[in-house]
Amino acid sequence: MQGQLHRGKSKLAVELAKRIDGEIISADSMQIYKDMNIGTAKITLEEMQGVKHYMIDFLPPNERYSVSSFKKDAEKYIEKIISEGKTPIICGGTGLYIDSLIYGIEYQDEKIDNDYREKLNIIAGKEGLENLYNTALKIDPEAMAKISKNDKKRIIRVLEIYHKTGKTKTEQEKESRKNGVKYDYKVFAINMDREILYNRINIRVEKMIKDGLVNEVRSILRKYNEFPTAMQGLGYKEVVEYLNGNTTEQEMIEKIKMETRRYAKRQITWFKKNKETYWIDGQKSVEENINTIIRLYRRLINWQ
């Protein structure tokens, strides 16, 4: 299950878990980090309502965590949940995490070439990100069809894979899928009117600022020495820019809103490429959507 607003899908997942005796595995690449609570809209113990959650708040922000590691850990918890007679519910919007499970993709857990990554970042800064995008497009047009021209992290990753292995990201994924998929996943996604979605995003960003996002980032910067991935997270990198004196507070807020809207749009595009995704209406009540999911789920698995 994925959605564009953390609270919406988290609440839905919790209510679903209560109805079908499930437990929840997070597929959010930022909620894995400790101390990053406000900017990730991390679910609270109260909001969990006693439902067991896995893979939230377990890693310090100064450590890397790969898609390969996620797949291994998620499958470990899936096995545990099933062995206890419960239903695993994967809840999160990180596309690569979800794809690694539903398509059985084995992403290579390769050591990062920091020199090459730095070189690409310098090129992006001097010549523009579009240059890197066009280079990646020539190397792997199939992978780039899913990647926005503004998605620096994923553009660089496509180039890194080819530089390191001599194979494209698409070639790697096709080879890894030969192992098949262990489970019969059913994918449900939340959708809503774009204008309503963007309005909710704007309100959410204002609330994060009011709740103390700037102080949260300031505290993390004091506590940890380096941030290979965490401080690139949406909302965090913009606050870092503000704390470094590169933007005003209002510019920071507007940038977070804009980048969050772009991210939501990319999420929708990403999951629409999976033709087996079942879309549910985010403007309906939680109860209505739970009933829709259970009805579809019963039909899909012939569950009486």
Write the pLDDT tens digit of every residue in 117-133.
888 988 888 888 998 99
Q: Which domains does the chain have, with CATH numbers?
A: 6-105+184-301 (3.40.50.300), 114-176 (1.10.20.140)
pLDDT tens, residue order, the chain (304 aa): 433 344 578 999 999 999 999 999 999 999 999 999 999 999 999 999 999 999 999 999 999 898 989 999 999 999 999 999 999 999 998 988 998 999 887 776 666 777 888 889 888 888 889 989 999 999 999 989 888 888 888 899 899 888 888 889 888 777 766 667 888 898 999 988 999 999 999 999 999 999 999 999 999 999 997 877 888 889 999 999 999 999 999 999 999 999 999 999 888 888 888 888 899 998 899 999 999 999 888 777 665 4
Determine if the pTM surpasses 0.75.
yes
- Of 131, 139, 141, whose CA–CA distance to 159 is shortest? 139
Q: Amino acid identity, residue 175?
A: E
- Of 187, 168, 161, 177, whose CA–CA distance to 270 is shortest? 187
User: Percent of the chain scored above 70 by pLDDT?
Assistant: 93
Identify the H or E element spanning 228.
none
Give exposure, 273-286, as e/b (b: 16+ Cβ within 10 Å).
eeeebeebebeeee
- How is 138-188 classified by DSSP, letter by letter? HH-HHHHTTS-TT-HHHHHHHHHHHHHHSS-HHHHHHHHGGG--SS----E
- pLDDT, tens digit (0-9, with 9 covering 90-100), for 154-170: 899 899 888 888 889 88
Tokens standing for 302? 């012939």
